[in-house]
Amino acid sequence: MPSLRRWSVPITLATVSLAACKGTEPFIPVATSVRVDPAALTFTSLGATRLVVAIVLDQRGDAMKSASVSWFSNNDPVASVSTAGLVTAVGNGMAQVVATSGQARAEVAVSVTQAAAQLIKQGGDGQTAAVGATLPQPLVVKVVDAGSSPMVGVTVSFAVTLGGGSLSNPSGPTTSSGATTVQWTLGATPGSPQRVEASLTGTAVAAVTFSATATAGPPASVIPLAGDGQTAATNNPVPVSPSVQVSDAHGNRVSGVTVTFTATGGGGTVAGGTPTTDLQGVATVGSWTLGPAAGPNTLTATVTGSGISGNPVTFTATAMQPGAPATVSVGAGDSQTGLAGFPLNLAPAVVVRDAAGFPVPNVAVTFAVASGGGSVTAPNATTGTNGVATVGSWTVQLGTNSLTATAAGSSIAGNPVPFLATGVSGAYQIDVRYLTSPTPAQRGAFDLAKAKWQQLIYGDVPDAFASFPAGTCGPGTPAINETIDDIIIFVRLDSIDGPGKILGQAGPCIVRNPGYLPGVGVMRFDTADVAGLLAAGQWDEVILHEMGHVLGYGTIWRPLGLLVGPAASGGTDPHFVGAQAIGAFDRSGGQAYSAGAKVPVENCVGYAPSVCGAGTRDGHWRETVFDTELMTGFLNGGVTNPLSVVSTASMGDLGYSVNYAGSDPYTVAHPLALRAQPSGPRLELHDDILRLPILVIDAGGRVVRVIQPR
């Protein structure tokens, strides 16, 4: 065995030496060095990544294609690296990423320093508070880098740029979440926008702006504005209704404040005694009527709250006992025009006053027809506490009519008082054109409705030329090429949606400019419902109701500005603001209505959408107030549904010449709007306004506007 060991080494060495000499020995590459690209990395945002490529070189300096490389970071909280060499910025600081292969290694210097890229508003924008108040929510702004990672310890500067408010601090560092906050106290001017800007000084990062709205502060003072120191006759209102103005501690006018007016001396009374202040901080009592005895009267205006200077405000007035009648003059109702054979819309009235101009009560006045062949009712009247005497009614005939009013007493200037009026024939014509053939019973309802509306609307409207192709007013409507006298109504009885749903729909499709009075309209009814309506005796009322929509009721209110606060736009108290309708509402028992604004329009509150929806709200009187009136969105069964003077007057507000006396007798059913549920069986006129685009044409037929359905 020993002899064998001794040989083995020389043989082996000789063999190796011999092989080397011949150049046939195998080359074994060994990882000698590592080269990395890039050799240094700089990051400005957390989460950013960069791939580092490592090349392993052998002892000859050649790249080793299959060499394995291991990666690690000496500071993982700053930078991490994947097995493939992908470096990720984790936190601010310095680190080395190392690539190794065997005994060879290379280092990559990594620097992570976040740079602000964006300011983000996180809270506090768009608030509203009283002037001088600190907003309930602080302003919160967040600083992030390009990767949307929060930045800690960055100083954010804040500055008031509009409104004159103040901040709790002008700057502040960001927390671990990247956010910083500041409290904002608003300036002293309400109404105008107020703004604060947050910025990073010395950077190109865009600043952000916070906005807020300042409202007036709580009431701090109240002063008399108008109506103090007046004189009026006993039992009569003062000429100027007293008013006050409410301000906050900064002198800003405070709106929406309830002021209570109370007659505190002299035995007087007030109407509208709890008004709220308007945008100018002004509240005005409806009226202040002085007491029955001559002498001083007092009225107080009180704002609820403590520490309000000037509160309450006291007004004084002197009540004077009227003297003997000295003058009589027209109070109302002169120079009217009305439909011959009917009473005028406004009954003539006179005012009797004493030598000082105070109204004189208890004066007998006699009204008598002087010419024209008309007639009066209740011709013998007596002046009230306001000195006014009114005839019951004056029915006129064709042509010129005259009336005299004579006050009892001697040496009364102006006695007798003459009134003039003109009686005219009905000139408004409704042209009903049937697109399907109605039965005699069906047609009879249209004839009655036409006659009724032509009695209510008597004045001619301007002619308009129209030339439009078939289908302009909906499917199946014919072409139009003619001069329209007053209105053309196309009627179709066909299938709509089966029994018990939509009974019928109606509305205008062409209206005039100016004024928007309809020239062409459509009425369509579901044949599946007609027989039932006839059997129930409701067909006539349905047709009368729907014809009203074609004539403009509920369909041209918005373009004329007569509907305020529509429910479709989020309003809770839609109401009709035509002066004639409001007056008629008051005279029909609605004077005491206090549940909202007059005249209340349907808001569908308390009804399911399937019962009262888009086709009912904003286009009918409110059912809970008007109840059986024909132009609500419901017909009440078992009773007559009258077409009231309120509806007639509303047509006058649209621009028609109307005849109040043609209306049906009616009293506002629920002037306090207390009824929440139907009072009896009802027929729902569901979705009965036909929502077509309405073409607005001038006298020559040119389309000047299109009113899209809502």
As to burial, measured by CB atoms within 10 angstroms (0-12 exposed, 13-18 middle, 19+ buried), residue 534 is: middle
Query: What are the beta bridge partners of residue 184?
Result: 167
Rg (CA), the chain: 44
pLDDT at 76 over 50: yes
Confidence of residue 18 (pLDDT cuts 50, 70, 90): very low
Q: Are 408 and 422 in contact (CB under 8 A)?
A: no
Angle between helices 527-535 and 440-456 (to 10 degrees): 80
Contacts of 44 (CB under 8 A, 6+ apart): 113, 114, 115, 145, 146
- pLDDT exceeds cutoff 90 at 55: yes
Model pLDDT, residue 680: 55
How confident is the model over 386-396, as a mean pLDDT?
A: 97
| pLDDT (average), residues 401-414 | 96
Q: Which pLDDT score, from 0 to 100, does residue 481 have? A: 97
Q: Which residues pair with 262 in a beta bridge?
A: 300
pLDDT at 410: 87
Alpha-carbon gap, residue 690 to 553, rounded angstroms: 12
Q: Are 209 and 197 in contact (CB under 8 A)?
A: yes
Whether 72 contacts 98, CB under 8 Å? yes
Residue 498 has pLDDT above 80, yes or no: no
Within 408-455, strands assigned E span 417-424, 430-434
Q: Residue 614 — very low, low, confident or very high, per pLDDT cuts 50/70/90?
A: confident
Please compute the mean of the pLDDT values over residues 315-330 and round it to a whole number. 97
- Each residue's pLDDT tens digit, 656-691: 999 999 999 999 988 875 554 555 567 888 788 998
**To the nearest whole number, what is the mean pLDDT of the chain?**
92
Give the integer Cα–Cα distance in Å for 405 and 368: 7
- By the 8 A CB rule, do 141 and 156 touch? yes
The structural domains of the chain, ordered by start, are 33-112 (2.60.40.1080), 118-215 (2.60.40.10), 221-320 (2.60.40.10), 327-424 (2.60.40.10), 429-555+689-710 (3.10.170), 562-685 (no CATH)
For residue 3, is pLDDT > 50?
no
What is the average pLDDT across 223-241?
A: 96
Bridge partners (DSSP) listed for residue 283: 244
**In the predicted structure, residue 93 carries a pLDDT above the cut 60:** yes
Ranking 58-67, 266-275, 583-592 by mean pLDDT, the lowest is: 58-67
pLDDT (average), residues 546-563: 97
pTM over 0.85: no
96, 220, 573 from 279: Cα distances, Å? 69, 16, 20
Q: What is the pLDDT of residue 10?
A: 35
The answer to whether residue 2 scores a pLDDT higher than 90 is: no
Q: If pLDDT is split at 50, 70 and 90, which confidence band does 495 have?
A: confident
- Report yes or no: 608 and 686 within 8 Å, Cβ to Cβ: no
- The identity of residue 396, as a single letter, is V
Q: Please give the Cα distance from 156 to 177 (Å, whole number).
A: 14
CA angle at 657 for the pair 342 and 635, rounded to the nearest 5°: 80
pLDDT-based confidence at residue 609 (cuts at 50, 70, 90): confident
Work out whether strand 70-73 and strand 93-101 pair parallel, antiparallel, or are unpaired: antiparallel
CA 391-393-396 angle, to 5 degrees, is 125
Alpha carbons 73 and 80: distance in angstroms, whole number: 6
